[in-house]
């Protein structure tokens, strides 16, 4: 089972590796999340403007299963760089980041962390 941080990292940085069908489902999930926060009038207007609304009733467990399958496929099939802090192993926000959320930085080895 993949952790939520890794799923967020791959969704944020490697969305280009989603295939066409996965991207449609992903967009549908985003649309349904948006719809759940709108008023009834806004929901009607918004849902009329959506061409393909495949997954409007996915349960949270199904969404998590979908993302786990997609992320596992991307990690196994594509060249994905998972940027982890060399000091504590936490994920950085992007593949190019040189500072992790833990506060460690590794862009200049001569400068010590505070």
Q: How far apart are CA 11 and CA 34, in angstroms?
A: 17
Query: Distance (Å, rounded) from C-alpha 52 to C-alpha 74?
Result: 24
Does this model's pTM top 0.85?
no
How many other β-carbons are positioned within 10 Å of the β-carbon of residue 17? 18
Q: Per-residue pLDDT tens, the chain, 114 aa: give them.
A: 678 889 899 999 999 999 999 998 888 888 777 777 777 777 677 666 655 555 555 677 788 889 999 999 999 998 899 988 888 888 888 898 888 888 888 775 555 544
In whole angstroms, what separates CA 114 from the centre of its chain? 31
Q: What is the pLDDT of residue 74?
A: 94
**Nearest-angstrom CA–CA distance, 87 and 90:** 8
Q: Which residues, in sequence order, are CB contacts of 63 under 8 Å at separation 6+?
A: 29
């Amino acid at each position: 089972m993949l952790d939520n941080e890794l799923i967020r990292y791959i969704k944020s940085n490697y969305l280009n590796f989603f295939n066409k069908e996965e991207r449609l489902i992903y967009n549908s999930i985003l649309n349904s999340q948006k719809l759940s926060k709108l008023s009834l009038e806004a929901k009607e207007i918004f849902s009329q403007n959506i061409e393909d609304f495949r997954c409007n009733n996915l349960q949270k467990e199904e969404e998590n299963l979908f993302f786990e399958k997609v992320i596992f496929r991307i990690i196994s099939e594509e060249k994905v760089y998972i940027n982890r802090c060399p000091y504590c192993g936490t994920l950085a926000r992007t593949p190019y980041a040189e500072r992790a959320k833990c506060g460690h930085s590794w862009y200049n080895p001569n400068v010590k962390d505070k």
